[in-house]
Chains A and B, each alone.
Chain A
Amino acid sequence: MSPANLVEITGLNISFGNNSVVENVSMALKRGEITTLIGPNGAGKTTLVKAVLGLLSPTSGTIKRSSALRIGYMPQKLHIDTTFPLTVARFLKTAAFASIEDRIVALQSVRAEHLLKQSVHSLSGGEMQRVLLARALLRKPELLVLDEPAQGVDINGQTELYKLIASIRDKYNCAVLMISHDLHLVMAATDQVICLNHHICCSGHPEQVSADPSYIELFGIPGAESLALYSHHHNHQHNNHGDILPLPDEQESDHHHCGGHH
């Protein structure tokens, strides 16, 4: 296992009964890198993530983790029954391994210290996601795994949340593995995109993936377009998308303009 890799997956297959969900996936997660899993519903993204977390065992193939890897996990949804009286403070306290200082620091790094005494049932979608992120940070993670972190968050909150995730990566120098549907929002802060439809359709830097025919086949031109938009934002030299995305010049400059605001 290469020392730069925190997790190395080789030839991973996972099936439930006769239903093959993850097929021949090989990938690596590196310290300090954000990896985003994209793909249609039912493509096996959550299954792959659960295998990385060790919640599911592979049908075949291997998942190597660096020794004593600390993983912080933010589940897709946290359904807490309303009959369960729980404040944010008490919720974080059930992570028994963390000290009070850890809990305060974690809440501060997601800018949610003011929520400490609130009931978890009164939080908005965005507030809840930030509290969950704080919980994941309590582990002082080397690898942060986020399953659709922006679910149920309004559009302004989403942009902010993804910025927050990028800043956490910088602060903790951890690897981030996340599932996202918000292609246009995550791409700017992603180092590696893996496009999954049971098998890996394509992977690489956002710009490479956006130009890949299998990506366009999977998401259609609109998805690819919004991705290209962000590649432009990053690197204005990129005109080679024209081959795949025949955009008139006028429209393209529009995109430049639009990108500048984000």
Chain B
Amino acid sequence: MPEFLLLALLGGIGVALVAGPLGSFVVWRRMAYFGDTLAHSALLGIAVGVLFDINFNLAVVSCCVILALILVSLQRQRLVATDTLLGIMAHSSLSLGLVAVALLDDVRVDLMEYLFGDLLAITPTDLFWIYGGGGVVMLLIWKLWNPLLAVTINEELAQVEGVPVARIRLALMLLIGVVIAIAMKVVGILLITSLLIIPAASARRLASSPEQMAVIASLLGVVAVILGLSASMQFDTPAGPSVVVAALVQFLLLYSLPIRSVA
């Protein structure tokens, strides 16, 4: 196996593993559009990273977190409906990012690489970020698993029972921000949410507990990465979108098979 393919495979698998449990929360809490909005702001993070010469991963994570905080505070003021607010922020942050990148005329930023990912150009440094960042995310999800579930079931009930709801919600946003930063290289800004939600939605078909759903989502994600990459090699298609298409095929198969519904 050529080295670039091995790196691509390892990178994709790392992202798929961590996307499983986090994607489950995105599905349960109906945060798909929220994830999209955060992902769109990642390009702004790249521009900021170039401008101030900061590590791109750090810049993207901070940009996602700042956007999430702004979102939460705007949501509280109820100026407009949440979906309108998300729509405004998603597209304006993407546009701001595109404009900012264009203004940095002395630096060439390969837009396609960030918008759709460049799985086949993953470097060992990227792998370090994927497994380092992903490992930290996994550890935190493991530690916070029960309070995360309690907050997902009902925030007020959780608060009465002594769960620090505000901090847990913030932690979840932070984790999503980190995953977006590390998954950007694999599927790109525009497709990140699909890697979070499609395997999780497929896993729902087979799972009867939240733990099962998280694990199955990870495994389905890994299979999608392997299938997508092979297809990409075979048919010379772009790697990131091929992975998403593979995940979609899994989803369609699982939902068309007559499986007895569980829990």
Q: Is the CB of A119 within 8 A of B263?
A: yes
List residues of chain A with CB within 8 A of the CB of B146.
94, 96
In chain B, positions 160-214 with a C-beta closer than 8 Å to chain A are 160-162, 201, 204, 207-210, 212-213
List residues of chain A with CB within 8 A of the CB of B154.
75, 78-79
List residues of chain A with CB within 8 A of the CB of B150.
94-96
Question: How many Å from the CB of A248 to the closest CB on chain B?
Answer: 48
Classify the interface of chain A: helix, strand, loop or mixed: loop
List residues of chain B with CB within 8 A of the CB of A119.
208, 262-263
Q: Is the CB of A87 within 8 A of B153?
A: no
List residues of chain A with CB within 8 A of the CB of B160.
53-55, 71, 73, 145
Interface size class of A (residues with CB under 8 A): 20 to 34
A86→B210 CA distance, assembly (Å): 7
Q: Is A80 an interface residue (CB 8 A)?
A: yes
Question: How many Å from the CB of B67 to the closest CB on chain A?
Answer: 24
Q: Is A172 an interface residue (CB 8 A)?
A: no
List residues of chain A with CB within 8 A of the CB of B28.
81, 83-84
Q: Is the CB of B210 within 8 A of A75?
A: no
- Encode A17-53 as 1/0 by CB contact (under 8 A) with B: 0000000000000000000000000000000001001
Q: Is A91 an interface residue (CB 8 A)?
A: yes
A81→B153 CA distance, assembly (Å): 8
List residues of chain B with CB within 8 A of the CB of A50.
156
Question: How many Å from the CB of B219 to the closest CB on chain A?
Answer: 16
Q: Which of A55, A78, A84, A135 has the most CB of B within 10 A?
A: A84
Q: Is B159 an interface residue (CB 8 A)?
A: yes
Question: How many Å from the CB of A106 to the closest CB on chain B?
Answer: 13
Q: Is the CB of B263 within 8 A of A85?
A: yes
Question: How many Å from the CB of A41 to the closest CB on chain B?
Answer: 19
Q: Is the CB of A94 within 8 A of B153?
A: yes
Q: Is the CB of B201 within 8 A of A86?
A: no
A84→B154 CA distance, assembly (Å): 12
Q: Is the CB of A73 within 8 A of B263?
A: no
Q: Is the CB of B157 within 8 A of A75?
A: yes
In chain B, positions 194-242 with a C-beta closer than 8 Å to chain A are 201, 204, 207-210, 212-213
A121→B27 CA distance, assembly (Å): 16
A84→B29 CA distance, assembly (Å): 9
Q: Is the CB of A84 within 8 A of B159?
A: no
List residues of chain A with CB within 8 A of the CB of B102.
none
Q: A81-B28, A81-B30 are in contact. Are A87 and B209 (CB under 8 A)?
A: yes
Q: Is the CB of B262 within 8 A of A83?
A: no
Q: Is A238 an interface residue (CB 8 A)?
A: no
16 A-B pairs besides A75-B154, A78-B153, A95-B161 with CB distance below 8 A are A53-B160, A75-B157, A81-B27, A81-B28, A81-B29, A81-B30, A83-B28, A84-B153, A85-B204, A85-B208, A85-B210, A85-B262, A86-B209, A86-B210, A87-B208, A145-B160
Can you name 24 A-B residue pairings with CB atoms under 8 Å?
A: A55-B156, A73-B160, A75-B154, A78-B153, A78-B154, A79-B154, A81-B29, A83-B27, A84-B28, A85-B207, A85-B208, A85-B212, A85-B213, A85-B262, A86-B153, A86-B209, A86-B263, A94-B153, A95-B150, A96-B146, A96-B150, A119-B263, A121-B263, A139-B161
